[in-house]
Amino acid sequence: MVFMIAGLSKKEIEIISWLEFYEKYFFSINEINHFFRNKTQQYNSIKNLMKKKRIIKLNKTKYYLVPIKAKNGTWVERSFIIADEIFNGENYFIGGYAAANYWRATDQIPMQIDIYTTKRQGKKTVLNSRFVFHRTTEKNIKENSCIKKMENHSFRILKKKEAEKWMKLRE
């Protein structure tokens, strides 16, 4: 007996099941290459899973799997973990109100996650979290950020003293 979920093909269920079994919620295409005969099949499967909102593209090579237990494809993941995965853990730090709230310098709940990076600028929404990218230098990243952990996943965030200074400028 073949188990089918409405709207997903046998191949898509196979891919999602494999990723969930090995708990690979953040994955690259190289990790699932063995499911495809050629690049066209790979491209079409990834495109269809994105269209069905079962995976979300984070950057050029990394995707996020929305678990099967998510109803109607809606799911929430920690914004700090998503930010770290977007940048593969390098050349960024989380700042702004998100950092100030993390360090308890403000009680205001951030409406967006400000990410300072050397690579990009602009805005992106992933899993109902709004990310705003700001340009900065590598020197600024090294001097003003520290590494913290959340749910066994590390991320870079503005240092506590710097976040408190940033908040005082906003008052």
Render pLDDT for 34-61 as a digit per residue (tens, 0 to 9).
999 999 999 999 999 999 888 999 998 8
> How does pLDDT run across 117-160, given as a tens digit for each residue?
998 889 998 888 899 999 999 999 999 999 999 888 999 999 99
User: Long-range pairs for 15-24 at CB < 8 Å and ≥24 separation?
Assistant: 15/45, 15/49, 16/49, 16/54, 16/65, 16/68, 17/68, 19/65, 20/65, 20/67, 20/68, 24/65
**Cα 81 to Cα 149: distance, rounded to the nearest angstrom:** 9
pLDDT category at 74 given cuts 50, 70, 90 is low
**Cα 77 to Cα 120: distance, rounded to the nearest angstrom:** 22
**What pLDDT was estimated at residue 5?**
54
**Cα 171 to Cα 168: distance, rounded to the nearest angstrom:** 5
**What pLDDT was estimated at residue 101?**
93
pLDDT at 6 exceeding the cut of 80: no
- The most distant pair of C-alpha atoms in the chain lies apart, rounded to whole Å, by 64
pLDDT at 68 exceeding the cut of 80: no
> How does pLDDT run across 91-106, given as a tens digit for each residue?
999 999 999 999 999 9
pLDDT at 3 exceeding the cut of 90: no
Domains of the chain with bracketed CATH: 10-73 (1.10.10), 79-170 (no CATH)
Helix ranges, 6-112 (H): 10-21, 39-51, 79-86, 96-102
